[in-house]
């Protein structure tokens, strides 16, 4: 437990916001809009969050740019033109910088500053937030806008430090252009979304590429390419109507392409026709109106496997690049038009780890059970301690000094994906049990930050009590999360980071609410409309003043 010493009794600011990705930037702006003083902390040297760190070659969002954007401000919507239907990392980071400048929030952020600890003080009802540069800031509300995929998984392979060559992580790729892979022998570990995007780019430069694959993933065509200008104009015509409409959908975005026929009502030829149409239309996961049914999902999975195999010339490689162990959607599906064909190049080789596992990393390369593969560079595309990891990376203690690590010893618990019993006035957007990574994260960032600031406003209007959810609300929410997960093919049977299965020793718990954005939003606002029946209101022993600011 980090010791935080402070003799202060009055807050330095009303709100501390940690992180400056989609949620953090919007939270800083919202605080100012509502006349609250705010301080932001960001461990990177610029805004962007996940889009700051994951600067590996080929990094691109597979949610369409016109969905994956803010809609709270009409001018921002109309003044930014995306160059591609699925923007690349650099463009998204520039966009976030543009929004931060427009919102004038850069002045509120301390960059290169990591938040190490946050402690709740029961006497004052304030949070002490301690940073890596030695500051301790007292505030009334703490918002951890730290993202779900921001805590890279430490390599769990023996001998990592023995390697004599260069090593890079996709999750913290150097941004200074110093990585030069030309003519080198490069090994890549990991074939999730990051691996699948970076491998084709590496193959353009490296002399040899060896891909170490533990689990194959579904790879469907990408939506990247020219924007549908008609659609963009329609969304821009009335951004606030678009914003409201997004919140009425399941995924928090403009209605997606979807098959209009039901799997159960089609014969074999009709199913094949619907699947082909969906593949070409880039909505294969929603080929049928009843795509959520296990039998429809099995047909979709089989169809994708066939299309994947057709793209790879070598039969052994084709067979091994296809996921046989889990249904489509059990893990996060990937998109690429070039990944599979990359293995048709003579200098690219697949190592199937279930057959020849890595024994250890050695000075000259990677030793599998069959051979030692000499390498100049190893790239780890090995993922993240997702969702709960970033929260637990901060030393947090709440009522009676109870730590978040203890509260979450059996996996994360919270209510509505934003607050935890015993941690009053601490907000955790994009953490566990919210629609998070199974929704449009940009829409979710706006929705959760709106909900959090509407909650703060309610508290201010009601004499500023402190708020935390009831244990019964958390139990109910965990059950709801599991109830919806049970209906999602593969959710509870696949080893994935959705349920913590990628981290040795992490409690297994499905951490994403899949009841849909609309239901989630309505449940959140039902709490405000009914004066927070799922929460407990507390009084601090000593009232602290609000810190008044001019906007
Ligand atoms: P990931 O999906 O967790 O993939 C990590 C990969 O590393 C998996 O193939 C995993 O194998 C492998 N791996 C981990 N430890 C290993 C070990 N010790 N030995 C061998 N292989 C190992 O991580 P990610 O690719 O960074 O993606 C994470 C998430 O970020 C995505 O699911 C997505 O939500 C988001 N993302 C999105 C985009 C996009 O929008 N296009 C791009 C990148 C990332 P196992 O599967 O067997 O564990």
For a mutational test of ligand 1's pocket, the pick from 91, 193, 212, 334, i.e. the residue with the most ligand atoms closer than 8 A to its C-beta, is: 193
In 3-state terms, what secondary structure has residue 22? helix
Is 98 part of any domain? yes
* Atom number, ligand 1, closest to the C-alpha of residue 59: 42
In angstroms, the CA 323 to CA 116 distance is 39
Question: What CATH number should be reported for the domain holding residue 24?
Answer: 3.50.50.60
In angstroms, the CA 217 to CA 335 distance is 10
What Cα–Cα distance (Å) separates residue 115 from each residue in 6, 139, 331, 353, 384?
Answer: 16, 14, 31, 38, 19
List all residues 6 or more positions away from 366 whose beta carbon is below 8 Å from its beta carbon: 187, 189, 210, 212, 358, 372, 373, 375, 378
Contact 331, 217 (CB under 8 A): yes
In angstroms, the CA 380 to CA 423 distance is 35
The pLDDT assigned to 395 comes to 98
Q: Which tokens go with 427? A: 């907000």
In degrees and rounded to multiples of 5, residue 110 shows phi and psi of -95, 115
Pick the last residue of a domain from 361, 380, 399. Answer: 380
Is 530 part of any domain? yes
In degrees and rounded to multiples of 5, residue 462 shows phi and psi of -115, 35
Is 500 part of any domain? yes
In angstroms, the CA 360 to CA 136 distance is 42
> Ligand 1 atom 23: the closest Cα is on which residue?
383
Q: Which tokens go with 172? A: 């913290």
Same structural domain, 330 and 256: yes
Alpha helices in 238-267 (DSSP H): 239-246
> Ligand 1 atom 36: the closest Cα is on which residue?
193
Cross-strand bridge partners of residue 186: 209, 377
Same structural domain, 307 and 373: yes
Pick the last residue of a domain from 338, 354, 380. Answer: 380
Q: Is the CB of 242 under 6 A from ligand 1?
A: no
* Atom number, ligand 1, closest to the C-alpha of residue 501: 48
Pick the last residue of a domain from 380, 413, 432. Answer: 380
Same structural domain, 418 and 330: no
For a mutational test of ligand 1's pocket, the pick from 157, 502, 511, 512, i.e. the residue with the most ligand atoms closer than 8 A to its C-beta, is: 502
List all residues 6 or more positions away from 204 whose beta carbon is below 8 Å from its beta carbon: none
The pLDDT assigned to 1 comes to 40
Alpha helices in 260-388 (DSSP H): 268-281, 294-310, 315-321, 339-342
- 20 CA to centre of own chain: 14
Residue with tokens 């918002």: 143
Contact 356, 369 (CB under 8 A): yes
In 3-state terms, what secondary structure has residue 168? strand
Give the H/E segment covering residue 367. Answer: strand 365-368
In angstroms, the CA 395 to CA 131 distance is 11
The pLDDT assigned to 479 comes to 97
Same structural domain, 308 and 259: yes
The pLDDT assigned to 546 comes to 56
Q: Give, rounded to a whole angstrom, the gap between the first and last alpha carbons of the chain.
A: 36
List all residues 6 or more positions away from 336 whose beta carbon is below 8 Å from its beta carbon: 196, 197, 200, 219, 222
Is 4 part of any domain? no
The sign of the torsion formed by the CA atoms of 442, 501, 146, 51 equals negative
Average pLDDT of each block of 10 consecutive residues along the chain (551 residues)? 56 97 98 97 98 98 94 96 96 98 98 98 95 97 97 95 98 96 98 98 98 98 92 93 94 86 98 97 95 97 98 98 97 97 98 98 98 98 98 98 98 97 96 93 97 97 92 98 96 96 96 96 98 92 55 40
DSSP track, 65-129: TTTSS--S-HHHHHH---SSSS-BHHHHHHHHHHHHHHTT-GGGEE-S--EEEEEEETTTTEEEE
Number of H helices, E strands in the chain: 16, 20
Same structural domain, 269 and 202: yes
Contact 286, 299 (CB under 8 A): no
Same structural domain, 143 and 202: no
Give the H/E segment covering residue 389. Answer: helix 389-392
Same structural domain, 390 and 505: yes
Q: Is the CB of 210 under 6 A from ligand 1?
A: no
> Ligand 1 atom 15: the closest Cα is on which residue?
382
In angstroms, the CA 389 to CA 373 distance is 32
Contact 252, 440 (CB under 8 A): yes
User: Could you list the residue range(s) of the whole structural domain that residue 404 is in?
Assistant: 13-151+386-546
Is 494 part of any domain? yes
When divided into structural domains, the chain yields a total of: 2
Q: Is the CB of 382 under 6 A from ligand 1?
A: yes
The pLDDT assigned to 3 comes to 45
Name the nearest CA neighbour of 445 among 92, 61, 148. 148
Is 6 part of any domain? no
Same structural domain, 240 and 352: yes
In degrees and rounded to multiples of 5, residue 481 shows phi and psi of -60, -45
For the beta carbon of residue 267, count every other beta carbon within 10 angstroms: 8
The pLDDT assigned to 4 comes to 45
Same structural domain, 358 and 409: no
Same structural domain, 350 and 403: no
For a mutational test of ligand 1's pocket, the pick from 282, 357, 383, 497, i.e. the residue with the most ligand atoms closer than 8 A to its C-beta, is: 383
Same structural domain, 413 and 367: no
Same structural domain, 39 and 102: yes
For 64-67, the CB contacts below 8 A with 24+ separation are 64/223, 64/253, 64/254, 65/91, 65/227, 66/227, 66/228, 66/231, 66/232, 66/235, 66/254, 67/246, 67/253, 67/254, 67/440, 67/442, 67/443
The pLDDT assigned to 258 comes to 85
Is 164 part of any domain? no
For the beta carbon of residue 182, count every other beta carbon within 10 angstroms: 8
Is 157 part of any domain? no
The pTM for the full model equals 0.95
Q: Is the CB of 50 under 6 A from ligand 1?
A: no
């Amino acid at each position: 437990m980090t010791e935080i010493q402070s003799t202060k009794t009055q807050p330095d600011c009303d709100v501390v916001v940690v992180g400056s990705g989609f949620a953090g930037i919007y939270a800083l702006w919202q605080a100012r809009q509502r006349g609250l003083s705010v301080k932001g902390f960001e461990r990177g040297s610029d805004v962007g969050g996940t889009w700051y760190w994951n600067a590996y070659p080929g990094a691109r969002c597979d949610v369409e740019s016109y969905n994956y954007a803010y809609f709270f401000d009409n001018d921002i919507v109309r003044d930014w033109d995306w160059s591609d239907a699925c923007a690349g990392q650099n463009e998204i980071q520039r966009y976030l910088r543009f929004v931060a400048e427009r919102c004038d929030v850069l002045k509120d952020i301390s960059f290169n500053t990591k938040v190490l600890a946050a402690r709740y003080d029961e006497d004052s009802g304030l949070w002490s937030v301690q940073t890596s540069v030695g500051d301790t800031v007292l505030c009334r509300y703490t918002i951890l806008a730290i993202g779900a995929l921001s805590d890279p998984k430490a390599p769990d392979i023996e001998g990592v430090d023995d390697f004599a060559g260069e090593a890079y992580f996709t999750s913290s790729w150097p941004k200074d252009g110093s990585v030069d892979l030309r003519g080198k022998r490069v090994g890549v570990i990991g074939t999730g979304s990051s691996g699948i995007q970076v491998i084709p780019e590496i193959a353009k430069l490296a002399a040899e590429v060896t891909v170490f694959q533990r689990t194959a993933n579904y790879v469907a065509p990408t939506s990247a390419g020219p924007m549908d200008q008609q659609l963009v104009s329609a969304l821009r015509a009335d951004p606030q109507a678009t914003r409201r409409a997004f919140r009425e959908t399941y995924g928090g975005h403009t209605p997606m392409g979807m098959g209009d026929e039901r799997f159960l009502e089609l014969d074999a030829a009709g199913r094949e026709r619907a699947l082909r149409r969906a593949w070409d239309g880039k909505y294969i996961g929603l080929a049928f109106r009843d795509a959520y049914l296990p039998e429809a999902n099995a047909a979709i999975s089989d169809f994708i496997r066939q299309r994947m195999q057709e793209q790879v010339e070598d039969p052994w490689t084709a067979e091994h690049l296809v996921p046989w162990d889990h249904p489509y959607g059990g893990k996060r599906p990937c998109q690429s038009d070039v990944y599979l064909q990359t293995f048709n190049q003579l200098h690219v080789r697949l190592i199937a780890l279930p057959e020849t596992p890595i024994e250890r990393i050695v000075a000259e390369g990677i030793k599998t059970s069959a051979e030692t593969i000499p390498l100049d560079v190893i790239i780890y595309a090995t993922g993240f301690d997702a969702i709960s990891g970033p929260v637990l990376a901060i030393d947090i203690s709440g009522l009676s000094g109870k730590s978040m690590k203890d509260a979450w010893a059996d996996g994360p618990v919270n209510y509505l994906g934003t607050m935890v019993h015993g941690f009053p006035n601490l907000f955790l957007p994009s953490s566990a049990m919210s629609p998070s990574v199974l929704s449009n994260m940009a829409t979710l960032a706006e929705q959760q930050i709106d909900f959090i600031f509407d909650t703060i406003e309610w508290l201010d209007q009601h004499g500023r009590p402190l708020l935390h959810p009831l244990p019964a609300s958390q139990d109910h929410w965990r059950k709801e999360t599991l109830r919806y997960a049970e209906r999602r093919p593969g959710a509870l049977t696949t080893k994935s980071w959705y349920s913590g299965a990628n981290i040795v020793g992490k409690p297994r718990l499905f951490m994403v609410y899949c009841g849909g954005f609309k239901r989630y939003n309505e449940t959140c606002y039902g709490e405000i409309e009914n004066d927070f029946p799922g929460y407990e209101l507390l009084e601090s022993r000593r009232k602290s003043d609000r810190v008044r600011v001019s906007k």
